[in-house]
Structure 1
Amino acid sequence: MPQTYIMVISGKPEGPFSITELKAKGLKPTDFVKTEAMIDYKEAHEILELREILGFAKPPVIPQYFGSFDQRLLASIIDWLIVTGVFVVPTLLIVLISPVKMLNMILSGSLLVVIPVAYLIYHIVMESGPKQATHGKQILKIKVTDMQGYPISTGTAIGRNFAKVFSVLTLCVGYMLNFFNKRQQCLHDMVAGTLVVKDRLV
């Protein structure tokens, strides 16, 4: 059965109306509507079905609560431990079992390249994924968004993580910028146009 909506007209609830009837009544993005199942009214542009059918733009979510420096640092430490553990533990087992010293040296030395590359890919995939956060960030309940609070694309995630080079090359001053702006952005956030926000409050 097609979904119907109750619409607030001149301060009074009327309906229910089908989507076709809502359109005929000139439903605007800021008009209040609800289904029978909804507890409270919402503006029409907040409802996915109405946005898709009537072409309303998704309302911006302006973040107000940002991830602090200590939360971001702790999340980074957790992520390093996770990524490092994934490669170090099996490599260590191979080194302990294998009698071939040359193989052991190659495996051990390759970690210096493999771990940073894996760490970079891990961040790009997780931050542009459904959770918008690495496992470390998820534990600390923070996530990465664009400047309007929306999820970031893979391209933005790539740019953000490569821009961390600038934060490091400035003798970590790029990270210290977190203390000196209202949105608590580091240099790489400014370059990529991203925010780290508290997940439960956005």
Structure 2
Amino acid sequence: MKENEMTDMQYAGFWFRVIAVIVDEIICTIAAILVVLPLGFALGASMAGTSTIEEIKAAGEGLGYVSGILIHWLYFTVSESSAWQATLGKKMFGLRVTDMNGNKISFGKANGRYWSKIISALILLIGYIMVAFTERKQGLHDIIAGTLVMKKA
């Protein structure tokens, strides 16, 4: 990021990030439905006549679960490591994910940030709540990955 761009940025606050995540979760849910429903029907049709209803249901649930995780992971990781430096939800609010120097993050760093969110969630969401109280508005997953979420001033 250029020096003058960095001075136009401030740390993104808790509520901007919460609303951006809600938008992103809606987008991921819609994407998962659009991808998984046709695949589920195709899977069910291919199993018809050779499997029980319970087996077809279990296969469909497994497909939905795995596809949902994959869609969610790719959405966040690819978006945040792209030239946008943001998911659609973050972009709507002028937020960007950067490294500690304000630069674009790599796919690997975005991947680490994504999976670190599990830790932020498992400790009673304290890792997320930290955003409201840390100096640079970092959640635990940001600290682990060495990232910042910035907003245009």
Same fold, TM-score > 0.5, yes or no: yes
How far apart are residue 157 of structure 1 and its match? 0.9
Larger radius of gyration: 1
1:137 to 86, 90, 93: 90
Residue 27 of structure 2 is matched in structure 1 by 82
1:126 to 65, 76, 79: 79
**1:33-65 deviation line (CA, Å, top 9, x unaligned):** xxxxxxxxxxxxx9xxxxxxxxxxx75936751
Q: Which runs of 5 or more residues in structure 1 are unaligned?
A: 1-45, 47-57
Identity, in percent, stands at 35
Paired letter, 1:165 = I
Retained in 1: the 8 A contact 2:36–2:63? Answer: no
Would you tell me which structure has more helix in proportion to its own residues? 2
Paired letter, 2:72 = Y
Retained in 2: the 8 A contact 1:128–1:154? Answer: yes
CA distance in 2, matches of 1:105, 1:166: 28
Would you tell me which structure has more strand in proportion to its own residues? 1
1:65 to 10, 28, 41: 10
CA distance in 2, matches of 1:195, 1:173: 17
Residue 113 of structure 2 is matched in structure 1 by 160
How far apart are residue 183 of structure 1 and its match? 1.0
Retained in 1: the 8 A contact 2:21–2:89? Answer: yes
- C-alpha spacing 1:86/1:68, structure 2 compared with 1 (3 Å): same
Residue 189 of structure 1 is matched in structure 2 by 142
Q: Which runs of 5 or more residues in structure 2 are unaligned?
A: none
Whether 2:78 is the aligned partner of 1:150: answer no
- C-alpha spacing 1:63/1:179, structure 2 compared with 1 (3 Å): farther
1:196 partner SS = strand
Paired letter, 1:151 = K
CA distance in 2, matches of 1:124, 1:154: 6
CA distance in 1, matches of 2:96, 2:14: 13
CA distance in 1, matches of 2:17, 2:23: 10
TM-score with structure 1 setting the length: 0.61
- C-alpha spacing 1:117/1:81, structure 2 compared with 1 (3 Å): same
Retained in 1: the 8 A contact 2:32–2:71? Answer: no
Residue 124 of structure 2 is matched in structure 1 by 171
Retained in 2: the 8 A contact 1:63–1:197? Answer: no
